[in-house]
Amino acid sequence: MTIPLNVIILAAGKGTRMKSELPKVLHPLAGKPLLAHVLTAADRLQPARICVVYGHGGEALPQAIARPELAWAKQEPQLGTGHAVQQAIPHLDPDAICLILYGDVPLTRPETLHEMVRIAREGAIALLTVRLDNPHGYGRIVRDLEGRVERIVEQKDACPQELALNEVNTGILCLPAAKLTGWLGRLSNHNAQGEYYLTDVIGMAAAEGERVIPCHPSAEWEVLGVNSRQQLAELERQYQANLAQGLMTQGVTLIDPARIDVRGNLECGRDVLIDINCVFEGRVILRDSARVGANCVIKDADIGPDVEIKPFCHIESATVGARAIVGPYARLRPGTELAEEVHVGNFVELKNAQVGFNSKINHLSYVGDATVGRKVNVGAGTITCNYDGANKHRTVIEDEAFIGSDTQLVAPVTVGRGATLGAGTTLTRDAPPDQLTLSRAKQLTIPGWQRPVKKKKEA
Ligand code: UD1
Ligand code: CA
């Protein structure tokens, strides 16, 4: 039987340098809270329990992360990382091994953590360390003459020789819960900061002859924490760069991998192309050979095969059928469903509208709460008047209808199959199929009419 894994996430710190009302670990990276990234990494290890230590910011944290299976341990006041871990102990399985993560270190790869868990399951203590060009501020790893990890000394407690060491403690470690509990009980706060240091556990373990195995991340960004808005922005760029690399490896063409932002899940088929400055939010699917032009924002959408989204489109909660052409400058609002080969052009807004095969709405229109059939042509400047100030009403346009330019469709109203509406019509009653319907004041010409001329000013 494999030894169960418990994860402790430390998130009680204040985050002073963020200068924010929002608790630090709730600040979003790629559209979701820092803490949610750490939880995702933890989930990948299939732990039996996860306990989050919180404190600063009060109940905002458990409220924002609505996951009933999480254990929450309140640390108040915050007397150091060792004290923080102590608050989680009552929530742990004493037979488990325990992985300690920081809620403000969002990009650690599950592979790195997996290796640490493996080491701890074999009875050793896994400690994640990294060599830094500038180790200032971090705890330093002190090794003995044989190169074994002996203890960790914090920046503020270190002597000059220790300060010269550049291997630092990332704070992430994995060890048996029972031993951890024993060592935590012996911590003291007789140090430069008057805190209970979790790091002192390593010295105790080594003194008792336990094996402390240093592990290393594949890259520095895996262990970087967020303490300021600058660091948050840097990690956001790193996250996006990693994601862009992954997309290209899958076969997606990114015109510039430095200019794409994915804040959610982007799933791409074969030979998808994404031009610069596009933002994808929520769950977006781009099917085979879909192309997205520059400067599009696409959220919770399914974009069909061979679709062309031209530049500057905004698409939310919509589906776009195969070979459709959308934009430039089109807005598809929630509930829009475009069938295959639909064309939606510039300055067209669609909302809760289902548009049938090969219909065209190419210029300057608003079509909301509407059902549009197959092969319909909606002329420039057509408006569905769907809202009477109190209620929304539907417009139905049947197959092969032709809507002249600058038409208002006052819903509820139906345009019959094959009907034609003359330009400028204000349709208030249903238009019968296959006939021309129009509402228009008669055109007249006034013979002999003269343009007014300016009166001459008197001298
Ligand atoms: C800690 C380590 C240091 C390491 C560094 C890496 C200790 C004593 N030192 O230092 O060796 O190089 O992290 O960044 O562990 N936290 C609580 N409650 C507390 C204090 C902290 O939950 O009472 C949480 C914070 O929210 C944060 C994490 O623990 O997520 C680390 O706290 P921080 O104050 O940043 O630790 P450092 O002093 O930087
Ligand atoms: Ca820190």
What's the confidence (pLDDT) of residue 14? 86
CA of 38 to the centre of ligand 2 (A): 15
**Domain-located, residue 308:** yes
CA dist 203 and 124 (Å) reads 14
- The DSSP output letter for 97 is E
Residue 225: both structure tokens together: 């924490």
Which whole number is the average pLDDT over 185-191? Answer: 98
Atom of ligand 1 nearest to the CA of 15: 26
Residue-number span of the structural domain to which 47 is assigned: 5-223
Which whole number is the average pLDDT over 156-177? Answer: 98
204 pLDDT exceeds 90? yes
With cut-offs at 50, 70 and 90, classify the pLDDT of residue 457. confident
Tens digit of pLDDT for each residue in 306-333? 999 999 999 999 999 999 999 999 999 9
CA of 48 to the centre of ligand 2 (A): 27
CA dist 162 and 153 (Å) reads 8
Domain check: are 197 and 317 in the same one? no
Domain boundary among 193, 223, 253: 223
**Domain-located, residue 444:** no
What's the confidence (pLDDT) of residue 351? 98
Domain check: are 317 and 233 in the same one? yes
**Domain-located, residue 446:** no
39 pLDDT exceeds 80? yes
- The whole-chain average pLDDT of the chain stands at 97
Domain check: are 31 and 11 in the same one? yes
Tens digit of pLDDT for each residue in 399-427? 999 999 999 999 999 999 999 999 999 99
- The DSSP output letter for 68 is T
Which whole number is the average pLDDT over 109-122? Answer: 98
- The DSSP output letter for 176 is E
Buried b (16+ CB within 10 A) or exposed e, 103-112: bbbbbbbeeb
Domain check: are 239 and 216 in the same one? no
Domain check: are 267 and 345 in the same one? yes
Domain boundary among 206, 223, 240: 223
What's the confidence (pLDDT) of residue 459? 67
Q: What is the pTM of this model?
A: 0.94
Which whole number is the average pLDDT over 13-36? Answer: 95
Hey, which residues does 153 pair with through a beta bridge? 140
**Domain-located, residue 445:** no
For ligand 1, atom 35, name the residue with the nearest CA: 13
With cut-offs at 50, 70 and 90, classify the pLDDT of residue 51. very high
Tens digit of pLDDT for each residue in 444-454? 999 999 999 99
With cut-offs at 50, 70 and 90, classify the pLDDT of residue 58. confident
- Strands 314-320, 297-303: parallel, antiparallel or unpaired by DSSP? parallel
Q: Which residues are catalytic?
A: 363
Torsion sign over Cα 147, 150, 155, 157:
negative
205 pLDDT exceeds 80? yes
CA dist 1 and 206 (Å) reads 28
Instruction: Give the residues surrounding ligand 1 with Cβ less than 6 Å away.
Output: 10-13, 53, 75, 78-81, 83-84, 102-104, 138-139, 152, 154, 168-171, 197-199, 225
Q: Determine the residue type at 99.
A: L
What DSSP string runs through 375-416? T-EE-TT-EEE-B-SS-B--EEE-TT-EE-TT-EEESSEEE-
For ligand 1, atom 36, name the residue with the nearest CA: 81
Domain check: are 312 and 401 in the same one? yes
Question: What is the radius of gyration, based on Cα positions, of the chain?
Answer: 32
For ligand 1, atom 8, name the residue with the nearest CA: 197
Domain check: are 199 and 240 in the same one? no
> Which among 441, 400, 406, 440 is positioned nearest to 420, based on CA atoms?
400
Domain check: are 206 and 234 in the same one? no
Tens digit of pLDDT for each residue in 177-187? 999 999 999 99
**Domain-located, residue 345:** yes
Tens digit of pLDDT for each residue in 5-15? 999 999 999 89
Which whole number is the average pLDDT over 280-294? Answer: 99
Q: Where are the alpha helices (DSSP H) in 133-224?
A: 160-163, 177-185, 200-207
Domain check: are 219 and 234 in the same one? no
CA dist 145 and 129 (Å) reads 18
Q: How far apart are the first and last CA of the chain?
A: 110
CA of 146 to the centre of ligand 1 (A): 28
CATH of the domain at 133: 3.90.550.10
**Domain-located, residue 442:** no
Domain check: are 306 and 218 in the same one? no
Domain count, the chain: 2
DSSP reduced 3-state for 226: coil
Domain check: are 308 and 162 in the same one? no
**Domain-located, residue 453:** no
**Domain-located, residue 443:** no
Cβ(366)–Cβ(332) below 8 Å:
no
Domain check: are 126 and 246 in the same one? no
Domain boundary among 155, 189, 223: 223
- Ligand nearest the Cα of residue 10 is 1
CATH of the domain at 280: 2.160.10.10
Tens digit of pLDDT for each residue in 386-397? 998 999 999 999
With cut-offs at 50, 70 and 90, classify the pLDDT of residue 54. very high
